[in-house]
Amino acid sequence: MEQQVALVTGASSGIGEQTALELLRHGFVVYGAARRADRMAAIVGAGGHAIAMDVTDDASMRAGVEQILAAHGRIDVLVNNAGYGSYGALEDVPIDEARRQFEVNVFGLARLTQLVLPGMRARRSGTIVNISSIGGRIYEPLGAWYHATKFAVEGLSDSLRVELEPHGIRVVVIQPGAIRTEWSAISRRSAIERSGSTAYAAQARALVRALEAADRSTGATEPHVVAATIAKAAGARRPRTRYATPLSAKVIVGLRRVLPDRAVDRVIRSVFSPTKEELAEAQHAEAPHADDVDRTGV
């Protein structure tokens, strides 16, 4: 049987890197893609390939797909893993940053899928694995833009699943929970940078505390656990439509299905409510917005 070829984006660290390594162990020909190919030495060392790809750059994505097709004539599995968390109050986050969040987390995913679909349709076979998050089912204060992208990935994937089923192509959503990667540090830093000295400062500090606690909790796990789930889905003849992982993520997604919105709101408020110390610290740090001046009459 001919080896299947997989393309994994965001493969320079975390879930993407571990997924590439796991797929190699399962016998796939694997191409890891990231903006910096030199950060994928572990994948190359394990027998995989590294290609430079920026999912916000159409020419970069085209060139990567063409390189793989020229070498192997096929891409059997696409793992759309590239993404990041941009946090901060909606009022504070510049709209250009919000657009970039969608460019990376949604439009890059969609465009790369467009590029691999013709070959998959021609063979009437293929698997698209979209990395969402439990954040595509639940929500947090100061996470509006990030959660909007993951809710979008969920809806896009559902439509795509039924759209592509007649063509023999499977679409799977992976919903990681608390995973110990650099994602959390980037998200925490963005929350403080955007809202750490605004009217939302206390909430930003509470968010940072909650994300740090999640990383330390027994419910958090390492990226290889998610990678094993992705490899399982990629190799299945009839994969499930969604995989929440680890167990703590399954519990959270399950509770979201059965609890009414107001009940979930209360849980969210209890987790992300600022302490007295955080409120006091925020009062000292808060500064007025430059955009608070009303210029409509100028």
Low-confidence ranges of the chain (pLDDT < 70): 1, 285-298
CATH of domain 5-182+221-259: 3.40.50.720
Residue 298's pLDDT is what? 34
**Domain extent listing, the chain:** 5-182+221-259
For 275, the token pair is 């302490």
Q: What is the pLDDT of residue 285?
A: 63
Q: Which two tokens stand for residue 152?
A: 């979008």
pTM for this model (two decimals): 0.91
3-state secondary structure of 98: helix
Predicted confidence at residue 290, as pLDDT, reads: 46
Supply 133's token pair.
């998050």
Contact in structure between 145 and 191 (CB atoms under 8 Å): no
Task: Please name the residues in contact with 95: beta carbons below 8 A apart, sequence gap of 6 or more.
Answer: none
In angstroms, rounded to a whole number, what is the distance separating the alpha carbons of residues 201 and 209?
12
Q: Which residue is it, tokens 């709101």?
A: 265
Q: Exactly one of 31, 87, 146, 200 is catalytic; which is it? A: 146
200 in active site: no
Which listed residue (31, 87, 132, 243) is catalytic? 132
Alpha-carbon torsion, ordered 220, 222, 225, 226, to 10 deg: 80
Given the residues 31, 86, 150, 190, the one annotated as active site? 150
What end-to-end distance do the CA atoms of the chain give, in Å? 71
SS3 32: strand
Residue 150: active-site member: yes
Q: Is 84 a catalytic residue?
A: no
Cis peptide bond upstream of 141, omega within 30: no
What are the φ and ψ backbone dihedral angles of 247, each rounded to 5 degrees? -60, -40
